[in-house]
Chain A
Amino acid sequence: MALELLKDEAIPQAARGYPSLLRSRLYAIVGLAALLIIAITLTTAIGSTDIPLSTLRDTFLSKIPLFNIQQTWANSVETIIFQIRLPRLILAGLVGAALAVAGATYQGLFRNPLADPYLIGVAQGAALGAIIGFLLPVTWQTASIPLLAFLGAVLAVAFVYFIARVGKTLPMTTLILAGVALGAFLSAISYYLMIASADKLHGIVSWLLGTFSMASWWQVAMVTPYIFIGTAIIWLHARALNVMQLDEDQAQQLGINVEQVKLILLAAATLITAAAVCFCGIIGFVGIIIPHAVRLVWGPDHRFLLPLATLSGAIFLILADAAARTLLAPTEIPIGIITAFLGAPFFLYLLRQKKRAIF
């Protein structure tokens, strides 16, 4: 059927508003990207040694051959910036982005506001893997902890997936229930190992609460491909995710291959979550609250929700990590404590402001 299209002047003003809405969302994305750069700059400057912004600028410019800048700073400053703070910040940003976008994806897929990236076994799988890593000889630990955490996370979700699958379809409720049950089982093993681990308990608990203190460039290099590719795949399915907010029958009748989209999104969100937690532990709160905060401010359209959540998650975790290492310096606060301690009041404030249905 070809509709005889309405003349432009026949469209009432009240019905329009849409292009300007799109524009305002695009401005928000640009604004958040700018905010991300500001957050990175400021948090690079603060810490155990505060670095003046002018020095920071000069260290960066001196790396570019075009500029001829005299080194007026100690070599240690350069080490702090490039070997300690930057990798840590960037890892925090990547992890925050990954957890937030994975959380938004899970919430959209399950059509459930309580969903977070750890809903179907990623966290418990990663935790068990990491704990086994901690129990291995110390010399292996740098490699064994992240590797086993990653494998634990992916295997747990894969197991849940095959349990929940019925023929060619994947009922989402069964998936959640299977995830919760497997999670409880894996946690039981984890707790037993923790009690039996005695002297390694402190390290394990710190890992479980999350920390970026061991961040380095090789870790950034390891997680970047997963998080970039996974996030890109998720962003490309934003429209499908919108349509899937109707029920599955309607989504199919609108041309969405529901089972295929579910599988792709589940795999992408799981991989980026596994990559996010494997080096820095089970950082809570980001994956559930950031998507909701974005929804509260900018609405439920996944085409904007997903990129805005990605950027907000990165900014949030970069700032949270800066707080974690500076608030009680030289002691570091586990990042998971900061995210909940600072993030929850902020979210409650947003909730109070809007007072309407948010999902």
Chain B
Amino acid sequence: MLTLRLQHVSLGYGKQTVLHNISFQTIPGEMLGIIGPNGSGKSTLIKGISHVITPSAGHIFLNGLNVASTSRTELARLIAVVPQNPILPELFTAFDTVLMGRTPHLGIFRYETEKDYAIVYTAMQLTNTLQLAQRRTGELSGGERQRITIARALAQEPMAILLDEPTAHLDINYQIETLDLARKLCREQKLIVVTTLHDLNLAAQYCDRLVMLSNGKIHSEGTPQSVINAQAIKEVYGADVYVYPHPLNKLPTTFIAPDKNKHKPAPETKACSQKL
């Protein structure tokens, strides 16, 4: 079965190390969520696994294959990344953009065939973007661009998909749609799915297992029930929250503490009215 395994990995930019001694492993068929506050190293971790940056220590293995010593083309056939807020060239059509996912399967001298087109169409159907095929990406909404990028990742026919904040900037319906799709891929296509999330409730609902990062280290790891609790959120995020089981499935659900100033009377507006 497919697994992604990190062994004592440290990652950073130049001399600055962002993540220290990270170890975890995916379990086949389980969706893994990476949570943690801004700046805790979530995006860096995604860049490290996709070998945009090379670990300064430790190893990353995909099915026993060392990621750092695999060629870019080979790696792109195994791991696809859906970046946060991807830049898509505005004048290219959605179809062109998804077709870019076939790049690692084509060479300098190999032109795409009918099969590549069929794969692109299939990926677009899975992400519900077929009707957008001939539209320019510059004309698409944020949610549509997100789905196009996921279709591009699928067109790579990878073993693992890494999603970086797939729900950022999306309305609640698209958040649900995107994560439903990710989970479907994980369950039905047997893909390794690793996603970073900043929304703790989405993380609890959709991920089977969570890794919580704090200051570049793993704070805790395990099921949502074991990772998300008021004390851990206070420690890692520095925020006062209440965590209760979801009424329908008992998964931990985070509520913010009520605003203490909400029911105080509004400040006097005398000064203003006098001037008028």
Size category of the binding interface on chain A? 35 or more
Q: Is the CB of A243 within 8 A of B100?
A: yes
Interface segment, one of A178-186, A211-219, A245-253: A245-253
Q: Please, which residue of chain A has its CB at the minimum distance from the CB of B85?
A: A247
Q: Is residue B133 within 8 Å, beta carbon to beta carbon, of the partner chain?
A: yes
Choice from A3, A14, A357 contacting B119 with Cβ under 8 Å: A3
Interface segment, one of A254-262, A276-284, A322-330, A331-339: A254-262
Q: Is the CB of A5 within 8 A of B122?
A: yes
Q: Please, which residue of chain B has its CB at the minimum distance from the CB of A358?
A: B91
Q: Is the CB of B52 within 8 A of A246?
A: no
Q: Is the CB of B130 within 8 A of A246?
A: no
Shortest C-beta distance, B201 to chain A (Å), equals 29
Q: Is residue B88 within 8 Å, beta carbon to beta carbon, of the partner chain?
A: yes
**Given A15-B133, A18-B95, A300-B92, also A249-B83 (CB < 8 A):** yes
Q: Is the CB of A243 within 8 A of B103?
A: yes
**Given A14-B131, A236-B108, A255-B103, also A245-B157 (CB < 8 A):** no
Choice from B51, B76, B92, B157 contacting A2 with Cβ under 8 Å: B157
**Given A14-B134, A15-B95, A301-B92, also A254-B104 (CB < 8 A):** yes
Q: Is the CB of B89 within 8 A of A300?
A: yes
Q: Is residue A50 within 8 Å, beta carbon to beta carbon, of the partner chain?
A: no
Choice from B72, B91, B126, B157 contacting A255 with Cβ under 8 Å: B72
Q: Is the CB of A254 within 8 A of B76?
A: yes
**Given A239-B106, A254-B76, A357-B138, also A15-B91 (CB < 8 A):** no
**Given A253-B80, A255-B72, also A3-B103 (CB < 8 A):** no
Q: Kindly supply a per-residue 1/0 record for chain A positions 72-103, scoring 1 wherever the CB is within 8 Å of any chain B CB and 0 otherwise.
A: 00000000000000000000000000000000
**Given A1-B189, A236-B108, A255-B76, also A15-B87 (CB < 8 A):** no
Choice from B76, B89, B134, B157 contacting A15 with Cβ under 8 Å: B134
Q: Kindly supply a per-residue 1/0 record for chain B positions 230-251, scoring 1 wherever the CB is within 8 Å of any chain A CB and 0 otherwise.
A: 0000000000000000000000
**Given A3-B122, A5-B122, A6-B125, also A255-B104 (CB < 8 A):** yes
On chain A, the residues within 8 Å of B227 by CB distance are: none
Complex CA–CA separation, A240 to B189 (angstroms): 29
Size category of the binding interface on chain B? 35 or more
Q: Is residue B118 within 8 Å, beta carbon to beta carbon, of the partner chain?
A: yes
On chain B, the residues within 8 Å of A250 by CB distance are: 81, 83, 86-87
Q: Is residue A11 within 8 Å, beta carbon to beta carbon, of the partner chain?
A: yes
Choice from B72, B86, B154 contacting A3 with Cβ under 8 Å: B154
Q: Kindly supply a per-residue 1/0 record for chain B positions 57-86, scoring 1 wherever the CB is within 8 Å of any chain A CB and 0 otherwise.
A: 000000000000000111111011101001
Q: Is the CB of A254 within 8 A of B101?
A: yes
Q: Is residue B179 within 8 Å, beta carbon to beta carbon, of the partner chain?
A: no
By DSSP majority rule, is chain A's interface helix, strand, loop, or mixed? loop
Q: Is residue A195 within 8 Å, beta carbon to beta carbon, of the partner chain?
A: no
Q: Is residue A237 within 8 Å, beta carbon to beta carbon, of the partner chain?
A: yes
Shortest C-beta distance, B220 to chain A (Å), equals 29
Most buried by B among A5, A18, A253, A254: A253
Q: Is residue B196 within 8 Å, beta carbon to beta carbon, of the partner chain?
A: no
On chain A, the residues within 8 Å of B91 by CB distance are: 295, 299-300, 357-359
Q: Is residue B123 within 8 Å, beta carbon to beta carbon, of the partner chain?
A: yes
Shortest C-beta distance, A234 to chain B (Å), equals 12
Complex CA–CA separation, A249 to B49 (angstroms): 12
On chain B, the residues within 8 Å of A12 by CB distance are: 130-131
Q: Is the CB of A255 within 8 A of B75?
A: yes
On chain B, the residues within 8 Å of A11 by CB distance are: 121, 130
On chain A, the residues within 8 Å of B121 by CB distance are: 6, 11, 15
Q: Is residue B191 within 8 Å, beta carbon to beta carbon, of the partner chain?
A: yes
Q: Is the CB of B119 within 8 A of A252?
A: no
On chain B, the residues within 8 Å of A199 by CB distance are: none
Q: Please, which residue of chain A has its CB at the minimum distance from the CB of B92?
A: A300
On chain B, the residues within 8 Å of A18 by CB distance are: 95, 117, 133-134
State which residues 92-151 of B face A: CB under 8 Å: 92, 95-96, 100-101, 103-104, 106, 108-109, 115, 117-119, 121-126, 130-131, 133-134, 138
State which residues 273-323 of A face B: CB under 8 Å: 295, 299-301
Shortest C-beta distance, B153 to chain A (Å), equals 9
Shortest C-beta distance, B136 to chain A (Å), equals 9
Q: Please, which residue of chain B has its CB at the minimum distance from the CB of A248?
A: B52
Complex CA–CA separation, A213 to B47 (angstroms): 55
On chain B, the residues within 8 Å of A255 by CB distance are: 72-77, 103-104
Q: What are 21 pairs between A and B in contact, CB < 8 Å?
A: A1-B158, A1-B189, A3-B123, A3-B154, A3-B157, A5-B115, A14-B133, A17-B134, A239-B108, A247-B87, A252-B72, A253-B76, A254-B101, A255-B73, A255-B74, A255-B77, A255-B103, A256-B72, A256-B103, A300-B92, A301-B92
14 further A-B pairs in the complex, CB-CB below 8 A; given A254-B103, A256-B103: A1-B154, A1-B191, A3-B126, A14-B131, A15-B130, A15-B134, A246-B86, A246-B87, A246-B100, A253-B52, A253-B76, A254-B76, A254-B156, A255-B77
The 10 closest A-B pairs by CB, nearest first: A255-B76, A255-B104, A15-B133, A245-B89, A255-B73, A300-B91, A6-B122, A253-B81, A247-B87, A254-B103
> What is the interface of chain A, defined by CB distance below 8 A to chain B?
1-6, 8, 10-12, 14-19, 236-237, 239-240, 242-243, 245-247, 249-250, 252-257, 295, 299-301, 357-359
> What is the interface of chain B, defined by CB distance below 8 A to chain A?
47, 50-52, 72-77, 79-81, 83, 86-92, 95-96, 100-101, 103-104, 106, 108-109, 115, 117-119, 121-126, 130-131, 133-134, 138, 154, 156-159, 189-191
